[in-house]
A and B are shown apart, each in its own frame.
Chain A
């Protein structure tokens, strides 16, 4: 299973491609591609958004579903989704959902 990760151009925020071509800040709201065709579709939509200067650094990332929650395979992507594992009061890491990710 895959998700499309990116950073928003204007502020750099880590985002994921959600339903209807929207970029979401919470990985749990991202659209999961369960096969190669769906992954291609995500990439195509992402590339169009890149050309519209909405996002940069696009990357398809591996994920799995654990206890009903999306969990990236690589630690790097889990930290990206959860926020830094320090300064727990700031940013994404302050969200309740972040603690279960890393």
Chain B
């Protein structure tokens, strides 16, 4: 992975010292809350319902064991012993004291981490496919380009005060696991007919109160033009984005109001002026960054094959874990392992300090010291020899992290919701817990097969409900929680925004409603190979509406 150079170290260290001074001045009353608030937000410190919250950037979701151990240390020393992984591959601590934050930042800096640009109207943490650099289906590792974007965008003077926040995601595979089409810029790394690397560029995707799927602005942008084209997009946005209205300030609205064709013309005009400027990436620079992401030397481990073939017939939990929590590695002796942070009844994305330490140990022992965070709030060990899967499973089982449910109905995304968040209108986590408990039976989960439920506690959609196969949005109605259901959303390469199915459901009814939807799918699917999403696309909303709101349904 990328290692800080002298400049990076000095920069982050200076920033910690700066923030320490700002906190001291705030606590002594030298500066007011109004003056301090933008400063704390620039360092990832929010004020939530019960306390401050600190959001730590995990660039493109790549973590080293020493970093995870430091997060465990911080969780124990300064928080309540756990952390929460988010849908943007970051980690949040929900209970830090403001007076401790400078010390926390200093600890983070010692392992090359920080909280810069995890808030504010700037370019946020660049996210990437969590299987990057390991998966069999990618043309190249997208993370070097995410790192180039990170370096370029860090404290970029022109783009530090954009009309609104700006999110970029990168994938190197046709199968989109980074939800690039619902980002402000989505980059799909691909090769052209001449075998040259470049990007399909998507612009103007986003969720929130006005969900939109991005428009493809370029089918192939040569890799050396990455920064000049991105700069062109941001210049047009910075100039014309709606600063007059916070709710219309994201680039998706600009794309919608201007029209994709006209906006492309403006971007291309800007790009033509920048194309041969200093922003053109020299091949040697790309190569230098790529070298940081060189995959580990993977020794041949052919002995894994036979063991797994026998284990797969067992019908036990390990066999299920093999079926669901593995992803095909480009080396047939290896696999990418998903560590589910969705134990039945647990808080999606939460991990205890002890679990963090244990995962760091497992990654060092069996996974070449590489750990990833997925936007689905799970962890990934990208390089595990198939021969070691039993050992890895058993070690994960010991710490309660071997739930065999990746991609299944209980692998639910949920935002922190009203349990923590000052913006939320309803709780998300207890809904996720109840649905997971309802579908706890592993055989039943397998029967249902792939089904993505995503829950947000407000219209800002941190839980990505718009792109859930079943999406749940919590709202407040007459002082009580109410949950609206959307069906048919998808965050992959066939991105789609789910459709609202009808009236909402109360907190005690929402799990029943999900049961009804799943039951309708099971009774109407063509066969076991037809997924929920495929069945919904074939059937449309009618049978689900009928099942939910028929004369005996309990709609709120």
In the complex, the answer to whether A92 meets B50 with C-beta atoms within 8 Å is yes
Residues 1-19 (chain A) with a chain B CB within 8 angstroms: 7, 9-14
Residues on A with beta carbons closer than 8 Å to the beta carbon of B429: 84-86
**B475 CB, min distance to chain A CBs, angstroms:** 12
Give Cα A14–Cα B481 distance, bound, in whole angstroms.
Answer: 22
Q: How many A-B residue pairs have CB under 8 A?
A: 78
B33 at the interface (CB under 8 A from A): yes
Stretch of A27-35, A39-47, A49-57 on the interface side: A49-57
A87 at the interface (CB under 8 A from B): yes
In the complex, the answer to whether B50 meets A14 with C-beta atoms within 8 Å is yes
A74 at the interface (CB under 8 A from B): yes
Contact of A9 among B27, B425, B430, B433 (CB under 8 A): B27
In the complex, the answer to whether B479 meets A75 with C-beta atoms within 8 Å is yes
In the complex, the answer to whether A87 meets B49 with C-beta atoms within 8 Å is no
In the complex, the answer to whether A86 meets B50 with C-beta atoms within 8 Å is no
Contact of A10 among B47, B97, B426, B433 (CB under 8 A): B97
A65 at the interface (CB under 8 A from B): no
In the complex, the answer to whether A84 meets B420 with C-beta atoms within 8 Å is yes
Residues 50-89 (chain B) with a chain A CB within 8 angstroms: 50-52, 80-82
In the complex, the answer to whether B47 meets A90 with C-beta atoms within 8 Å is no
Instruction: Determine the interface band of chain B, counting residues with CB < 8 A from chain A.
Output: 20 to 34
Give Cα A25–Cα B77 distance, bound, in whole angstroms.
Answer: 22
In the complex, the answer to whether B95 meets A86 with C-beta atoms within 8 Å is no
Return the CB mask of B82-109 against A: 1 if under 8 Å, else 0.
1000000000000111110000000000
Known: A9-B98, A53-B27. A80 touches B49 (CB 8 A): yes
Residues on A with beta carbons closer than 8 Å to the beta carbon of B481: 75
Residues on A with beta carbons closer than 8 Å to the beta carbon of B28: 53
In the complex, the answer to whether B419 meets A84 with C-beta atoms within 8 Å is yes
Closest A residue to B96 using CB positions = A12
In the complex, the answer to whether B27 meets A14 with C-beta atoms within 8 Å is no
Give Cα A52–Cα B424 distance, bound, in whole angstroms.
Answer: 29
In the complex, the answer to whether B29 meets A75 with C-beta atoms within 8 Å is no
Give 10 pairs: A residue, B residue, CB < 8 Å, sorted on A.
A11-B52, A11-B98, A13-B50, A53-B27, A56-B47, A79-B427, A87-B80, A87-B347, A90-B80, A91-B80
Q: Which 6 A-B pairs have the closest CB atoms?
A: A11-B97, A12-B51, A84-B419, A12-B52, A53-B29, A90-B80
Known: A7-B47, A11-B99, A12-B97. 18 other contacts (CB 8 A): A9-B26, A9-B27, A12-B52, A13-B50, A74-B479, A75-B418, A75-B476, A75-B479, A79-B49, A79-B418, A79-B427, A80-B50, A83-B50, A84-B420, A85-B419, A85-B430, A86-B419, A87-B347
